Chain A
Amino acid sequence: MNAPARISRRLGASGTANALELRGVSKLFGALVALEDIDITVRPGERRAVLGSNGAGKTTLFNCITGDFRASAGSIRFFGEDISTFPPHERIRRGLRRTYQISLLFAGLSVLDNIYLACVGVSRRRFSFLRPRRDDSLMAAAGELVEMVHLDADRDTLVSNLSYGQQRQLEIAMALSGAPRFILFDEPAAGLSPSERGDLVEILNGLPAHMGYIIIEHDMDVALRVAESVTMMHNGRIFREGKPAEIEQDPEVQALYLGGGDG
């Protein structure tokens, strides 16, 4: 069965379910309450921005969704399936993807190899003892992703020799490997130059319509260009939720954002 068919079967099986549904999710680090009673619902294909000041718990929210950390309480449903107790790799194999705020890449591998590894991880060839052949389909898919994030010129460059912006782009390409159904972007635009930001917005807006995502973004301008709804977090709680225009107008949000955030 080829990849698209598999996706559509999965979509069909849970076509009416929400892409992501968090109920009462909390996360404690010892005495520190990093997340408290979070409820979030994201429809399939929806694109959501998460805003919030430093330490609001945005990254922790991602970590709980992907299973990097086990949530202290609450349930997480992904396309209708309760994944709260799944280990990270099981969640990823179900079509969830993420990028990291601080790039986690394999510095000793080339750009193409990093993406190839990402493609292998969600394929059945994870355990293959055979090296990729010349006409390898995963390698071809990795090559397409390289072009998508404009790294063609550097496809054989070692990651350690890439610029910061290129590393951020590579992170995104790795999150797009396989057939993602939903992606979590953790501040992909942070530290990028204005032109690189433009590229990023273009990539995000060019994703297929069924591919929803949540993007953490301090920069309102970027957030508003790539998201159709906004969630504001503050001190581990959800503070406001709504259309970008509403959120922007909200006096309390403005007070908070001008007062505490850096965005």
Chain B
Amino acid sequence: MALADNRLASDGRDRPTWFERVPPAYWVGGFLLLVMPSFASDFILFQIFGWTFILGIIALSLMFLAGYGGMVSLAQMTFAGCAGYMVAIFGTSAITDISLGWPWFVAIPLALIVAVLLGTLTGWLAVRTEGIYTIMITLAIAAAFFYFTRQNYVIFNGFSGFNGVLPPQLFGVDWRGSTAFYYLTLFWAALCYFAVLYISRAPFGLALQGIRDNQRRMSALGFNAIAHRVAAYAFAALLAGIGGILLTWQSAQISPGTAGIGAAIDILVVAVIGGLRHPIGAFIGAFIYVILKTFALDALEAIGLAGERFQLLIGLGFLLIVFWSPDGVLGLWARWRESRSRDPLLERGGERP
């Protein structure tokens, strides 16, 4: 992956207004998402789209690290889970012995700070080694978090975790109502998505991609590669933390399994299926995953297999994708477009001179 289409400097001169630069597909997609509640059922809003946006945010945090930073972390779900636990602990839950019951404007920022700290620490450990080691170390950290939360009853309430973790009743709205929750998750997903897009072309994101492509060169330009990578972990943990809090609110509970090893791998699957090239891939992957997870049961039973074979389906799909299209669905899409635009008379169409 080379530094892709980052023409930021070109934006500097004679750039069109931001209004003109937004491609039409965004307008259509954005409009559809905004009016969705007027025709979609509660189940679709809350279960399908709410979950898609949440998973998408967490997968986006992995996309940021892996796509721009070249660091594949399996600990993103851990940061999400950590933030989820922290809102339960600092805020309110049904486990009144442990939950401190602080107001949301204290509990939520604190939860995010703790998640970012954990992310920074993980990053600090992981960036000391390279490439494939990163996956192993983050996987080990994810496992440690899982076992720790499962065995610790004083803070994390052990095996059963916390239930009754609800979003605050801000502005008198029940934010777990399907429409309100839909807009809540849509808002945060859009915010995270555009933030990642924006940062990818700001000095920080550019430098991160430069370090991914050629760390030695970046050091010779004055960049501290290690610090940049750790900072990328911190930022990704912030994104994951936002996703984690929303996830906790959606199911109103958090337990060790939420951030277990299976869940950590699922995030990787989601991000890879969607494609690590572009932030939108995270949400495409999340949508596919949620649809599969929701409807695979019926589909599998229809063809005579037990519904439990869902994992098999996901695993095979994942294998196919990494085997044939390392860039995920986005890669497939790009290839398809290229093949369409290929000039049948000149076999080598589609390539630029």
Interface residue ranges, A against B (CB under 8 Å): 66-68, 87-89, 92-93, 98, 100, 104-110, 112-113, 116-118, 120-122, 125-132, 134, 136, 139, 142, 155-156, 160, 174, 177-178
Q: How far is the CB of A132 from chain B (nearest CB, A)?
A: 6
Partner of B207, one of A93, A121, A177: A121
Determine if B102 is an interface residue (Cβ-Cβ < 8 Å): no
B12 engages A132 (CB within 8 Å): yes
Which 9 pairs, one residue from A and one from B, show the smallest C-beta to C-beta distance?
A108-B3, A121-B221, A121-B222, A108-B2, A112-B9, A92-B222, A88-B219, A122-B222, A104-B217
Which residues of chain B from 155 to 212 have any CB-CB distance to chain A below 8 Å in the complex? 198-199, 201-204, 206-207, 210
Determine if B216 is an interface residue (Cβ-Cβ < 8 Å): yes
A110 engages B10 (CB within 8 Å): yes
CA distance A104 to B214 in the complex (A): 8
B202 engages A130 (CB within 8 Å): yes
Partner of A129, one of B11, B199, B217: B199
Contacts of B10 in A (CB 8 A): 110, 112, 156
CA distance A110 to B2 in the complex (A): 12
Given A112-B9, A117-B206, A131:B223 Cβ within 8 A? no
B222 engages A109 (CB within 8 Å): no
Closest to A130 in B: B202
Chain B at the A interface: mostly helix, strand, loop or mixed?
Answer: helix
25 example contacts (A-B, Cβ-Cβ < 8 A) are as follows A67-B219, A89-B225, A93-B222, A98-B220, A104-B214, A105-B217, A108-B2, A108-B4, A109-B6, A109-B206, A110-B7, A112-B10, A113-B8, A113-B9, A113-B206, A117-B207, A121-B218, A125-B203, A126-B228, A128-B203, A130-B203, A131-B198, A131-B202, A132-B8, A156-B7
Chain A at the B interface: mostly helix, strand, loop or mixed?
Answer: loop
B221 engages A122 (CB within 8 Å): yes
A156 engages B4 (CB within 8 Å): no
Contacts of A120 in B (CB 8 A): 203, 206-207
Contacts of B202 in A (CB 8 A): 128-132
Given A106-B213, A125-B203, A139:B9 Cβ within 8 A? yes
Closest to B201 in A: A131
Determine if B5 is an interface residue (Cβ-Cβ < 8 Å): yes
Given A128-B202, A128-B203, A131-B202, A110:B220 Cβ within 8 A? no
Contacts of B207 in A (CB 8 A): 117, 120-121, 126
Closest to A184 in B: B220
Given A116-B9, A117-B206, A117-B207, A92:B221 Cβ within 8 A? yes
B3 engages A107 (CB within 8 Å): yes
Q: How far is the CB of B202 from chain A (nearest CB, A)?
A: 5
Q: How far is the CB of B140 from chain A (nearest CB, A)?
A: 27
Q: How far is the CB of A121 from chain B (nearest CB, A)?
A: 4
CA distance A114 to B6 in the complex (A): 11
Determine if B231 is an interface residue (Cβ-Cβ < 8 Å): yes
Q: How far is the CB of A101 from chain B (nearest CB, A)?
A: 13
Q: How far is the CB of A74 from chain B (nearest CB, A)?
A: 21
Given A125-B203, A131-B8, A131-B201, A68:B220 Cβ within 8 A? yes
Determine if B224 is an interface residue (Cβ-Cβ < 8 Å): yes
B9 engages A128 (CB within 8 Å): no
A89 engages B2 (CB within 8 Å): no
Which residues of chain B from 219 to 240 have any CB-CB distance to chain A below 8 Å in the complex? 219-225, 228, 231
